Amino acid sequence: MTDIIALKTINFYQKWISPYKGYSCAYKYYTNKHSCSEFAKKSIQKFGIIKSIPLINIHLKKCK
């Protein structure tokens, strides 16, 4: 259930907040890989929220 809530929250952010904030993900721009929110979404889908939290934290630290 928490996976579904997390994924819906990320989808809401990607659709309604991210396009209007005025800038795009720097990590995506410099590495030409997934944005932080897209990485989080794919990680949760593959591993679940509990196993994804450390992976997402590592990714966000790389993004700065």
pLDDT at 19: 83
pLDDT at 62: 83
How far apart, in whole angstroms, are the C-alpha atoms of residue 46 and residue 64?
24
Helical axes 49-63 vs 36-47, angle rounded to 10° = 160
pLDDT at 11: 96
pLDDT at 27: 76
pLDDT at 9: 97
pTM of the model: 0.85
Q: Could you report the per-residue pLDDT of 17-64, keeping only the tens digit for each?
A: 988 887 777 777 778 888 899 999 999 999 999 999 999 999 988 876
DSSP category for residue 33: S
